[in-house]
Structure formats: C-alpha cells, structure tokens
C-alpha cells in the first residue's frame, strides 16, 4: 500500500460572518470580553462607605496629627513646634487664627489653604472643623521632673497614674478632667497602654498644652518613687476598698491617684503598691463605670473635700475675728 500522505496543518480561512466581520477591540476595552474583577468584602465595604481604614494607635502617635479648632488653637498658643497647618479659606483670615498662623509661619510651619474635601482625607473623616495640624512628637517629661514641678506649684499636688488605659478616648478624657480640676500631671506606662496620639489630643481639647505627662517603663517602680517623694497612693477599684466619700479618708497632702484599665482594672502588682484602695459606691445594675468617668468622679471628690475644708477654716477664722472685735469693743 502506498504511504499515507500527512495532512497539512495550515490554517483554514473561515468564511466571514456577522460576528467576525466587526473589528475586535483590544483586550480590556470591551467589558463583555474582559474578566470580571471583584474587590474583597472589606475593600468593597470601605469603598462603598468612602472611609479609609482606621489607623492604629501606633500610627496615630507617629503621625501626630491634631485637628479641631480648640485643639489646634491650644497648640498654636503653646510652645509645641508645628510642622504644617491645613486650614480652609473661610478660617484662614479669621481673627482667632490670623495672628497665631503668622507666628507659626515665622517659626517655620507651612500653612496650606485647602478645601474641606482635602481635610476629610487628611483626618480620615474626622471632625476637623476646618483645620488640622501636624506637630512634633509629644514631649514626655521624666518622672523626677514631674514630681519636682508638681511640688513646686502647690503644697498638696495631685498626680494621676493611668494603669494600662488602652482607649485613647478614655485617656484624653482623663487628661481633660484632671487638668480642669487642678491636678498637676499624669503618669502612663510605655507598654500595653495608649500614648499621646492625635485622638488623645483631640479629646483632651487643648488640656495637654498645660498638663505634663511622664511615660515610665515600670509603673510599680514609679509608684515607689512617688511614695519616696511624699505622695500617698490611692487606687480606684470596683467594689473593693473604702467608699470614696468616707470621712476616714484624708484627701490632704500630696496624692497619687491610680486609675485602672478599662477591662481588668488595677493589676495585682499595682494594687499591692497602693496605700489605700477606694471605690465608688454604685446602686444600679451596672457593675462598674467607664475609666474616664471614674477618674473624673474621684478627682472631683478630692478637690471638693479640699474646697469644703478651706471654707470651714475660713468661716472659723471669720468667727474668731468677729468675736475678738466684739470683745475689744466691750
């Protein structure tokens, strides 16, 4: 038999039809030809809501971005170095900001007039009120310097110690209450606790410009240093300890007030380092209070007791003076 001939594999020209006669678009131009791409669930949710991912506390602390009129005005009035200020045109020449911005520019800050949309991007959708600023990292002071400054300002200083407060909103609220009520400073640990970030600055509403903060490696060692300096350490607990309003507690002299973390409260080592444990009596079904609320109540009780004692002393002095005057007249 003759050998079989190999079939040619040359392409066979197809008859042009309605589908092949049209010029084919480049890949990707025709949506029907391109593969359908879908975003992951998290990305789709963020894109739909136009919200960027939330920055971590470490990122916020590194960026040191503050925003909101009160917070930025306090920073402009203080001694902190501002790297850049973003402000909308409506506020650029407002009398409240004009001189402060000129002073900041003279110190080397860059003033950018931007649209509100740009501020929304910079602050990640925060309530910026038309202004934001980037500042140098917060200046913590040494604990020894904090003690020295506190004792120099008053004979009965109050220093707040935050034992592992992780929520920056709570930390900012504690700072705001402490400064407003007359405390002399704050001590925070370096690990497993919130630092001074943009969120803390925002919630503190300018209080940080007048309120020193010391950051320590070992909190129990810091409490011992406070004791050696003459401070009496009070730790706030839930349900254990003397009632906050008890007359057996003497709120005079130098005081270190320890506020526990949001979930765990005071650690066991910190409790052992306290001289007195105090508690806020509760009558409702809620077993405990928010850390910043508990701090505000405890601070108010300290200063309320001191103010009432001053009023009693002043009234006793007035009565004695009046008695002496009447006796001299007779």
CATH code of the domain made up of 143-313: 3.40.1280.10
Supply 275's token pair.
């001289």
d(CA 80, CA 73) in angstroms, rounded, equals 11
Q: Is-contact 286 165, C-beta < 8 A?
A: no
Whole-model pTM over 0.85: no
Whole-number pLDDT of residue 310: 64
Number of H helices, E strands in the chain: 12, 11
DSSP string, 246-260: -TTS---SSEEEEE-
Residue 191 half-sphere exposure, CB side, CA atoms within 13 Å?
3
pLDDT band for position 238 (cuts 50, 70, 90): confident
The pLDDT score that the predictor gives to residue 171 is 94
Fold classification of 58-135 (topology level): 60s Ribosomal Protein L30; Chain: A; (3.30.1330)
How many Cβ atoms are within 10 Å of 9's Cβ, its own excluded? 6
Say if residues 242 and 277 touch (Cβ distance below 8 Å): yes
Helix (H, G, I), strand (E, B) or coil at 242: strand
- Encode 141-210 in three state secondary structure: ECHHHHHHHHHHHCCCCEEEEECCCCCHHHHHHHHHHHHHHCCCEEEEECCCCCCCCHHHHHHHCCHHHH
Domain with CATH 3.40.1280.10 in the chain: 143-313
Helix %, strand %, coil % for the chain, to 5?
Answer: 40, 15, 40
For the stretch 4-62, pLDDT in tens is 554 554 554 444 444 444 455 444 444 444 444 554 544 444 444 444 444 444 444 44
pLDDT at 7: 52
CATH 3.30.1330.30-classified regions of the chain? 58-135
Q: pLDDT tens digit string along 97-154?
A: 888 888 888 887 889 899 999 999 988 888 899 999 887 667 789 999 999 999 999 9
Mean pLDDT of 170-184: 94
Whats the size of the chain, residue-wise?
A: 330
pLDDT averaged over the chain? 79
């Amino acid at each position: 038999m003759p050998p079989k001939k190999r079939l040619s594999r040359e392409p066979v020209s197809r008859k042009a039809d309605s589908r092949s006669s049209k010029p084919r678009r480049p890949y990707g131009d025709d949506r029907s030809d391109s593969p359908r791409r879908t975003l992951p669930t998290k990305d789709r949710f963020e894109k739909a809501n136009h919200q960027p991912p939330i920055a971590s506390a470490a990122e916020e602390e590194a960026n040191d971005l503050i925003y909101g009129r009160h917070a930025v005005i306090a920073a402009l009035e203080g001694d902190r170095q501002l790297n850049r200020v973003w402000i909308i045109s409506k506020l650029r020449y407002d009398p409240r900001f004009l001189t402060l911005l000129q002073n900041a520019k003279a110190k080397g800050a860059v003033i950018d007039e931007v649209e509100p949309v740009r501020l929304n991007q910079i602050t990640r959708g925060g309530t910026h009120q038309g202004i934001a600023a980037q500042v140098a990292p917060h200046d913590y002071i040494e604990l020894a310097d904090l003690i020295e400054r506190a004792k120099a300002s008053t004979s009965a200083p109050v220093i707040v110690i935050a034992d592992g407060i992780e929520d920056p909103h709570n930390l900012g609220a504690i700072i705001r209450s402490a400064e407003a009520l007359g405390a002399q400073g704050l001590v925070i640990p370096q690990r497993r606790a919130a630092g001074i970030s943009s969120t803390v600055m925002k919630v503190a509403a300018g209080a940080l410009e007048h309120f020193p903060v010391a950051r320590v490696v070992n909190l129990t060692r810091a409490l011992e240093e406070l004791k050696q300096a003459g401070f009496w350490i009070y730790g706030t607990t839930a349900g254990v300890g003397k009632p906050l309003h008890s007359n057996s507690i003497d709120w005079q002299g130098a005081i270190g007030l320890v506020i526990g973390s949001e979930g765990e409260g005071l650690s066991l080592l910190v409790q052992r380092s306290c001289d007195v444990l105090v508690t806020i009596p509760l009558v409702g079904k809620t077993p405990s209070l928010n850390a910043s609320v508990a701090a505000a109540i405890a601070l108010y009780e300290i200063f309320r007791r001191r103010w009432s004692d001053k009023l009693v002393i002043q009234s006793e002095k007035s009565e004695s003076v009046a008695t002496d005057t009447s006796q001299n007249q007779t």
